[in-house]
Structure 1
Amino acid sequence: MSRERGSATVEFTWLTLLLLVPLVYVVIAVFETQRTAYAVAAASEAGARAFVQADDPTTARSRARVAARLVLADHDVSGAAVDTRCRPDCFVPGSTVVVEVRSSQRLPLAPDVFGDPVAAFDVSSTHTEPFGRYRAAP
């Protein structure tokens, strides 16, 4: 037993590298994914509310895109697609507005393989906002 000298420092260092570094990576990846999920959810809600408050369909679509892009920029998410549609028709009392925001989230420090982000997945959110049954049509 006297031949063994204290190597706890070396063992602790290796255990830290083998256990703590992957754990920190997983935590960072989860936080990045959650940030994107919150961003697209808030963007779809803001876009739908901006759409409903406009006066005509053309202005409504541009306001919805601008509102969604502002929320996405606040959360530092870029490259998201914003899609708006009305059921059954835009600005008809009792109709609904659906805003869908889609984004792609890449895992941190993951390389592109042949130009495509392999370690990426899609995050999307859909928000439906009623136009109002007792509202006057424009």
Structure 2
Amino acid sequence: MSDDDGSAMVEFTWLAVLLVVPLVYVLLSALAVQRTAFGVTEAARQAGRAYATADDLAQAEARAREAVALALRDQGVQEPPELEVTCDGPCLAPGTTVTVRVAHEVRLPVLSLLGDAAPVVPVSATHDEVVDVFQEAP
């Protein structure tokens, strides 16, 4: 018998660990970023719709924030994102375009244990919503 008997199993195990562990980490990282990207995109869209259909500015702001929180919670994103709403004219005036930008930073899995030094991936989405021209007068 040679000295190599039984070493194939050990070599295969090490090779599998060295290839599979990084592959699984890359997949988990990509899925975390994609999940947040889906949430941010939907949050921007829903916030724009909620803002543009509100009766007044206070209600519009509250509805937009709630829409963002709900859309992100649906994707499992817990941390509060950055929400920015701008208008190309008087907000909520008929025909005005409301632009909503939602931004969030994704902490990569496992590396988030490093605390503030952990790498993050910025994700953002923008949505334009036109305030309906034919709306009920106050």
Q: Say yes or no: TM over 0.5.
A: yes
8 A Cα contact 1:43 1:72, kept in partner: yes
Query: 2: distance between equivalents of 1:121 and 1:59?
Result: 32
Query: 1: distance between equivalents of 2:86 and 2:73?
Result: 23
Query: 1: distance between equivalents of 2:88 and 2:124?
Result: 20
8 A Cα contact 1:99 1:127, kept in partner: yes
Query: 2: distance between equivalents of 1:23 and 1:36?
Result: 20
Residue 101, structure 1, aligned to residue 102, structure 2: yes
Offset of residue 79 of structure 1: 2.4
Query: 1: distance between equivalents of 2:112 and 2:61?
Result: 36
Residue 132, structure 1, aligned to residue 122, structure 2: no
Residue of structure 2 equivalent to 1:92 = 93
The alignment partner of 1:122 has SS state of strand
8 A Cα contact 1:106 1:117, kept in partner: no
Query: 2: distance between equivalents of 1:7 and 1:112?
Result: 36
Residues 3/56 of structure 1: CA separation in 2 closer, same or farther (3 Å cut): closer
Residue of structure 2 equivalent to 1:4 = 4
Query: 2: distance between equivalents of 1:111 and 1:69?
Result: 22
The structure that is helix-richer by fraction is 2
Give a deviation string over 1:111-137, Cα, whole Å, max 9, x none: 566x52431121111111011344466
TM-score under structure 2 normalisation? 0.89
Residue of structure 2 equivalent to 1:28 = 28
Amino acid at match of 1:34: Q
Unaligned runs of 5+ in 2: none
Percent identical = 43
Most deviating of 128-137 and 32-41? 128-137
Unaligned runs of 5+ in 1: none
Query: 2: distance between equivalents of 1:90 and 1:108?
Result: 40
Query: 2: distance between equivalents of 1:60 and 1:90?
Result: 10
Offset of residue 81 of structure 1: 1.5
Residue of structure 1 equivalent to 2:63 = 63
Residues 137/92 of structure 1: CA separation in 2 closer, same or farther (3 Å cut): farther
The alignment partner of 1:132 has SS state of coil
Amino acid at match of 2:89: P
Number of matched pairs:
137
Query: 2: distance between equivalents of 1:129 and 1:106?
Result: 30
